[in-house]
A and B are shown apart, each in its own frame.
Chain A
Amino acid sequence: KQEVTQIPAALSVPEGENLVLNCSFTDSAIYNLQWFRQDPGKGLTSLLLIQSSQREQTSGRLNASLDKSSGRSTLYIAASQPGDSATYLCAVRYAQAGTALIFGKGTTLSVSS
């Protein structure tokens, strides 16, 4: 079964720390992988999309990597801020799963000042 797993489920860090969120997927045949941010009571905001042919994408303090052979992606957040507190979701578009994004259950990040 094609699944997406995110570890840890929750993470607390002090402001200013660099941190890494992990995402693993079960099949290397993917079209792309997308990282989202979800704030309580709000929708999902797309952060980065990595195509299957790419190794990484960067946007500001965020850097996402993709290693298809090991079935892993990481989201690196540099110099974390309290405003980064949210749930981060990883979603994979598998080549054999139609058009659906398969989501992980998320990592809830809390950054304290």
Chain B
Amino acid sequence: EAQVTQNPRYLITVTGKKLTVTCSQNMNHEYMSWYRQDPGLGLRQIYYSMNVEVTDKGDVPEGYKVSRKEKRNFPLILESPSPNQTSLYFCASSLAAGGSLGDTQYFGPGTRLTVL
């Protein structure tokens, strides 16, 4: 089954404790990205990757890191989480990001993160 998976689905942590949220897709997609969803603010892009070893900042990158060492995986790293990073996080992927039908974005199930 074609899908985007995220782990963990739920996480409660404390300020400053480094964490990684994994994202994996099995569709051989080139483009992957991370979004956060907050009440009243909607979804906003954190980082994206056009392909292996190619990553760039989205609209709200502060406090986050990413890496793309393999095509299928795109982990999100919070080196020193703070309470304002409490949010619902989504990973997404698409075949391409070139303005074609390959742009259809497929989203993972989400990771609900609480930072105390």
Contacts and interface: CB of A to CB of B under 8 A. Distances in A.
A34 B105 contact: yes
Interface in B38-86: 40, 42-45, 48, 50, 56, 58-59
A112 interface: no
A99 B42 contact: no
B42 A32 contact: no
Interface in B84-116: 90, 92, 97, 99-101, 103-110
Residue among B48, B92, B99 with most chain A CB within 10 A: B99
A49 B101 contact: yes
Nearest to B58: A100
A104 B42 contact: yes
Interface residues on B, range: 20 to 34
Contact of B104 (A49, A99, A106): A49
A68 interface: no
A45 B99 CA distance: 19
A93 B108 CA distance: 19
B25 interface: no
Interface string A41-75: 11111100101100000000000000000000000
Contact of B90 (A41, A43, A99): A43
Given A49-B104, A95-B99, A99-B97, 4 more contacts: A34-B103, A36-B107, A43-B4, A44-B105
11 contacts: A34-B105, A36-B107, A42-B109, A44-B90, A49-B104, A91-B43, A99-B33, A101-B35, A103-B42, A103-B44, A106-B42
Interface of B: 4, 31, 33, 35, 40, 42-45, 48, 50, 56, 58-59, 90, 92, 97, 99-101, 103-110
